[in-house]
Structure 1
Amino acid sequence: MKPGIDFNCDLGEGVGDDAAILPFISSASIACGFHAGSPDLMRETVSLCREHGVAIGAHPSFADRENFGRSAQSISPGDAYALTLYQIGALDAFVRTAGLRLNHVKPHGAFYNQAARDRELADAIATAVRDYDPGLILYGLAGSALTQAGTMRGLRVVQEAFAERRYEADATLTPRSRADASIEHSAEAAMQVIALLRDGTVTARTGELVPLRADSICLHGDRPDAARFARELRMAIEKAGFDVRAPERLG
């Protein structure tokens, strides 16, 4: 049996061609309306996921539509817990009425990046996921405070790496404030993905070889060429000898 890898994409944000991306991925994290999306988009994206057999996750964020959820915010653990719980429940209503089960939760943008290093925020998010449904999978930046918090609460965690984002020498993502934060060519992104899968390493922006575990590879669905990237990355992953398949929730 070939080794498997999850290939996920952030969808339902109203800015990309979700229908063109879905045939190539195994998991989708759907915007819950706080950084992007809407009730109609949630329902439509869930329906598309069902059509393509793609596992569905909630993609909660800060309430920050103006900045697409990518601006840092100060938030108490209690507010972070409530924010996470509210958004999971909103998406799950559409998932359940479609006759499906929610598979995972993956925070978005600044919510995700802050939880990667802020243990109190990570604990609040992980607790909300566990309290809502302990069978859910928690996605987080590989080696981060968020995945550690999920493990401590008995959740299945997925260590996530990014196909077309650059990394720093400490295994964090290069800040989007830098012009070179994203990889613009699919061939280069494919090389990064294959190194992650075969060697468990990524080359940092500054040249260092950084060990990094990858249970799932993420592609951002809001980039204008996301559908082409999805197709070419799927081909590269399979050519490298890996099956693309979603992780299974605990129960």
Structure 2
Amino acid sequence: MTEAGRVALVTGATRGIGFEIARGLAEHGMRVVIGARDPASGQKAAKALCDRGLDAHYVIIDVTDRASVQAAAAVLVDRFKRLDVLVNNAGISLDKHSLPSTADLDEMRRVYETNVFGVVAVIQSMLPLLRQSDRGRIVNMSTGLGSLALTRGPDGPMAFSRLLAYNSSKTALNAVTVQFANELAGTPIKINAANPGLCATELSGGKGQSPVAGAKVALSLALLDADGPTGGLFGEGGPVPW
């Protein structure tokens, strides 16, 4: 199935997994729009892809600022007239050294503003364009740390992680994914959450597999055929338990 002429927006795509997702979509023939808060970073990332002969652009978007999100949607309407793929990759983690009992509530609110409310704002603003696509795809970048089954102690393989804000924000993101999937059932739009695994990015402190490897599951969900799943959490090995 050809991807030529299709448009994809990837938020937080100036580096790491987001950049590799943007590169992968562009290599499949899509016109990729890199979402960035900083104009210089967005321009640099888009140029890096253009220098490889890929069709890349950038748009300024701060997912925590509703006016910025709506302005980005207006740019897509004006410049590209369509949107076929949305990858909500922008995310933050601030509570790397605290336990739930000592978590900073202000930091927790900041994490939720980006990882949960920001994603909802972007989806809501981009849905009118996505509804016009014959096969719209939404990918929310989640993590196994958001899985209650995997993090529940004492036997959960990820029970060691007690990052209250980050982990619970991704659990909430998984729930957001399900709710949108329920609303969009019966439409050409499919929405899923992706678990890229631990990747060597700024967020992880440079630990884990390469961002190229981490981008694979998001790319597969962004390129799903009409008979593909919706409303699930998936890793490279298949479905991940909630």
Higher relative contact order (CA 8 A, sep 6+): 1
Give the TM-score of the pair, scaled to structure 1: 0.39
